[in-house]
Amino acid sequence: MNLIMLGAPGSGKGTMAKFISSDFSLPHISTGDIFRKNIKDGTELGNKVKSILDAGELVPDELTIDLVKDRLKEADCKNGFILDGFPRTLVQAEALEKFASIDSVILIDLPFEVIEERLSGRRSCPSCGEVYHTSTYKETNCQKCDASLIQREDDKLETVRARLKVYEKQTSPLIEFYKNKIFKVEGKGTPEETYAPVKKFLKEMK
């Protein structure tokens, strides 16, 4: 199964992708995670993209496309994959058509007001990548590895608004592009509630 997660930043794509990855044994490929890891490790790529991510803008298409193209060549992708955060522009979607065939696109639907609230309360573990929300997790350290939680620079309210604008303009046209492959779910419930119909759909598809 070759899947794409589509939805605004903060709609819960990453969380759904993790559930799917574990239930269906598919690699979870998050371009945002790949960029953040490179920034953290201080690689050449990381240094190139840091200011772009901090501003909530998009990394250039060519760079992102090459990165995903290489990642999909790895052995773990041979039985399928979940793309999370890619494609994010029509140029990326058109490029992807040339090196992969997509079975289904899971679209998470959520109003922008809810997203603003969610993202500005989000805290992440810089060490293992676990994600928390201030409304449900009051601790300052990660439950899994005890590292101090941080707020991503791009989760600050101003940047969240910039990211939503970018989504509206550059990414939402993909809903039309993939209209024949979209499975849409309502994203406002708990992660488990959002995941239930997705799981059912994917089981039937398999």
Residue 36: active-site member: no
Q: Interface residues for Zn ion in 113-152 (CB under 5 A)?
A: 125, 127-128, 130, 142, 144-145, 147
What are the E-state strand segments in the chain?
A: 2-6, 28-30, 81-84, 104-109, 122-124, 131-133, 182-186
Strand order across the beta sheet in which 182-186 lies: 28-30, 81-84, 2-6, 104-109, 182-186
Binding at 127: pick from Zn ion, ligand ADP, none (beta carbon under 5-8 Å per type)? Zn ion
Decide if residue 118 touches ligand ADP (CB under 6 A). Answer: no
Residue 88: active-site member: yes
Beta bridge partners of 4: 83, 105
Please, which residue, 79 or 143, has the CB nearer to Zn ion? 143
What are the E-state strand segments in 44-171?
A: 81-84, 104-109, 122-124, 131-133
Each residue 10-49 as x (binds ligand ADP by CB under 6 A) or -, in order, gives x--x-----------------xx--x--------------
Binding at 86: pick from Zn ion, ligand ADP, none (beta carbon under 5-8 Å per type)? ligand ADP
Spatial separation of the C-alpha atoms in residues 62 and 143, rounded to whole Å? 37
Residue 152: active-site member: yes
Measure the N-to-C terminal CA separation of the chain; round to a whole number of Å: 7
Residue 122: active-site member: yes
Residue 118: active-site member: no
Please state the closest distance from residue 86 (CB atom) to Zn ion, in A: 24
Phi, psi (rounded to 5 degrees) for 23: -70, -35
Q: How many amino acids of this chain bind ligand ADP (CB under 6 A)?
A: 19
Please, which residue, 18 or 88, has the CB nearer to Zn ion? 18
Residue with tokens 């994917």: 202
In order, the DSSP letters of 54-67 are: HHT-PPPHHHHHHH
Binding at 130: pick from ligand ADP, Zn ion, none (beta carbon under 5-8 Å per type)? Zn ion
Q: How many amino acids of this chain bind Zn ion (CB under 5 A)?
A: 8
CA dihedral 103, 108, 112, 115 (to 10 degrees): -120
Instruction: Pick one of 38, 64, 120, 124: the residue that binds ligand ADP (CB under 6 A).
Output: 64
Among 121, 122, 140, 154, which residue's Cα sits nearest to residue 54? 154
Please, which residue, 10 or 27, has the CB nearer to ligand ADP? 10
Q: Which residues bind Zn ion (CB under 5 A)?
A: 125, 127-128, 130, 142, 144-145, 147
Residue positions annotated with a catalytic role:
13, 88, 122, 152, 163
